[in-house]
Amino acid sequence: MARTELSVVRRPVTLVDACVILDLTTNDPQWADWSEQTLAEAADEGPLVINAIVYAEVSVDFTSIEELDDALDQSYIRREPLPFEAGFLAGKAYVAYRRRGGSRRSPLADFYIGAHAAVAGYRLLTRDTARYSTYFPSVRLLTPDG
């Protein structure tokens, strides 16, 4: 009797950067259309996720948790904790950034987001191509640059 092999196709998971969500919640005239279209395409291909860092960055435009939670519908974008390994990698990437002359005032949040995508094997939907491609080269980026 012949064995039938089953192949499992993994759908790509996409971590969504705060800038993309803010483009939509603020109806950014330059980026809202791109962000909406690219977010929808990523959702068609697989799950969308955010972490507490993205949640915090997006929260600045909302007056209550309930309002924010309504905007970040968990049936569309799921929430994940930041892996401890991502915290370690974020710290190392930040040290490399500072050694290259990066500003101490640069937001560490971006390093946590990039590290989360890297350790989890996720794609990252963002408009911040330069920083993520420099410090997290293993992460597949979904950006306006392609």
> Residue 8 — pLDDT band, cuts 50, 70, 90?
confident
In a domain, 7, yes or no: no
Q: Which domain holds residue 138?
A: 14-142
In a domain, 27, yes or no: yes
Is the pLDDT confidence value at 130 over 60?
A: yes
Pick the range with the lowest mean pLDDT from 4-8, 58-62, 93-97. 4-8
**In this predicted model, what pLDDT tens digit does every residue of 79-92 receive, in sequence order?**
999 999 999 999 99
Rounded to two decimals, the pTM is 0.89
In a domain, 1, yes or no: no
Answer for the pair 9, 43: CB distance below 8 angstroms, yes or no. no
Count: domains in the chain: 1
Q: Assign residue 72 the CATH number of its domain.
A: 3.40.50.1010
In a domain, 4, yes or no: no
DSSP-assigned letters across all residues of 78-142: EE-PPPHHHHHHHHHHHHHHHHTT--TTS-THHHHHHHHHHHHT-EEE-S-HHHHHHH-TTSPEE
CA atoms within 13 A on the CB side of 95: 6
